[in-house]
């Protein structure tokens, strides 16, 4: 089972903007579906079948209270069983709908909220469409080898599900971001549980290639990571007052404890930005450890006075100092599924 969270800016050929209306994405899904059937009521959700794209658009586009103009309004997911998995359920559309609804139940439950609150699929606003075919594209090895043409249908079972889900809960009180830090939403855990759900419900024994594989950190690069983090901390320490300086060894220990994850590097970026802006970074260790800002007991006027004083003390420093981005290098992602 392959379940993918789509990156709207880079995924496949159908780039889209999820900061606005869902109309473009839904039109694309309808256009692709029309190659297979004439009906326009191709969508379904947790409770209903035969929904139109306009019904789904209304649900998604009106469920945005509390979001700013630059915030994501929705997310796109792909549920793509293997050919063997599809064969096991006889490519049954109703069984695939049932499974999709269970996957979205897991999606809701996977969010970790304060006070151990638990979401269910009833708290979500989403719609989904099933596509039965995929076509060859110019970059496919078969096309490059001359054994297939662009636009031709791929052979075998290719059925998959496209899901579009709101970035807010139904009451529009909670932001639901599957790209959030793993303490809030563990994407890998959700994908793994979804695969296990298919096995359990349909009594299927998954092959190794059908299971989620967690990429392990390469420990041989830890020494380089530690060196570059130390260099970055040293530059930050040239910007801030002595009392605000960071212990590079402690920062490295935090990074190692978090397995050098993206949340650590995002937090380090935030610490650096605050230092450049002359803002206090006295809660930097908490931010690096948890990915969250520590609640400040200091009153706003006092904080503003601190900011002003720090900026005055460091008015002669180069506030535009930039340090090297030292997160994990960008590598081609394996197993990308095109948004078709």
HSE-up (13 A, CA, CB side) for residue 262: 8
Do 229 and 255 contact (CB within 8 A), yes or no?
Answer: yes
**Sheet of 160-166, strand order:** 2-5, 74-80, 160-166, 126-131, 43-44
297-324 burial: b if 16+ Cβ within 10 Å, else e: eeeeeeeeeeeeebeeebeeeeeeeebe
The Cα–Cα gap between 111 and 133 comes to: 32
Tell me which residue of 155, 152, 156, 147 sits closest to 137, measured CA to CA.
Answer: 152
CATH of span 2-210: 3.30.930
How far lies 210's CA from each of 84, 178, 194, 207, 313, in Å?
9, 22, 12, 5, 58
> Which is it for the CA torsion 113, 114, 117, 122, positive or negative?
negative
Burial of 279 (0-12, 13-18, 19+ CB in 10 A): middle
User: Would you state the pLDDT for residue 330?
Assistant: 41
How do the domains of the chain map onto residue ranges?
2-210, 219-313
The Cα–Cα gap between 265 and 323 comes to: 12
**pTM of the full structure:** 0.69
* 62-94 pLDDT per residue, tens: 999 999 988 999 999 999 999 999 999 999 999
Which element (helix H / strand E) includes 250? helix 248-257
* 308-325 pLDDT per residue, tens: 555 555 544 444 433 333
Listed range (7-16, 18-27, 252-261, 263-272) with the worst mean pLDDT: 7-16
């Amino acid at each position: 089972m392959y379940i993918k969270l789509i990156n709207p800016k880079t995924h496949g050929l159908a780039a889209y903007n999820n900061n606005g209306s869902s109309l473009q994405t839904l039109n694309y899904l309808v256009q692709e579906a029309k190659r297979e059937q004439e009906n326009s009521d191709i969508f379904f959700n947790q409770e209903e079948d035969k929904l139109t794209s306009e019904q789904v658009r209304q649900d998604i586009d009106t469920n945005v209270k509390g979001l700013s103009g630059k915030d994501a309004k929705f997310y796109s997911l792909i549920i793509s069983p293997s050919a063997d998995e599809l064969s096991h359920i006889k490519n049954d559309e109703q069984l695939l709908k049932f499974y999709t609804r269970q996957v979205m139940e897991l999606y809701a439950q996977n969010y970790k909220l304060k006070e151990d609150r638990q979401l269910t699929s009833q708290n979500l606003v989403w719609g989904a469409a099933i596509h039965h075919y995929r076509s060859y594209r110019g970059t496919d090895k078969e096309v490059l080898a001359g054994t297939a043409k662009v636009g031709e249908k791929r052979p075998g079972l290719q059925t998959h599900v496209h899901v579009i889900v709101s970035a807010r809960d139904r009451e529009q009180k909670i932001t639901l971001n599957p790209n959030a830090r793993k303490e809030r939403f563990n994407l890998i855990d959700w994908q793994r549980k979804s695969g296990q759900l298919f096995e359990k419900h349909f009594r299927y024994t998954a092959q190794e290639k059908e299971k989620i594989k967690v990429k392990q950190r390469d420990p041989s690069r830890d020494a380089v990571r530690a060196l570059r983090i130390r260099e970055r901390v040293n530059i930050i320490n040239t910007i801030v007052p002595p009392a605000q300086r960071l212990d590079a060894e402690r920062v490295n220990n935090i990074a190692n404890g978090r397995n050098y994850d993206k949340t650590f590097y995002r937090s380090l970026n935030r610490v650096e930005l605050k230092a450049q802006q002359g803002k206090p970074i006295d809660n930097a260790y908490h931010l690096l450890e948890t990915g969250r800002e520590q609640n400040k007991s200091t009153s706003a006027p006092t904080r503003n006075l601190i900011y002003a004083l720090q900026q005055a003390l460091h008015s002669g420093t180069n506030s535009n100092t930039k340090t090297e981005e030292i997160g994990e290098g960008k590598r081609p992602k394996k197993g990308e599924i095109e948004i078709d």
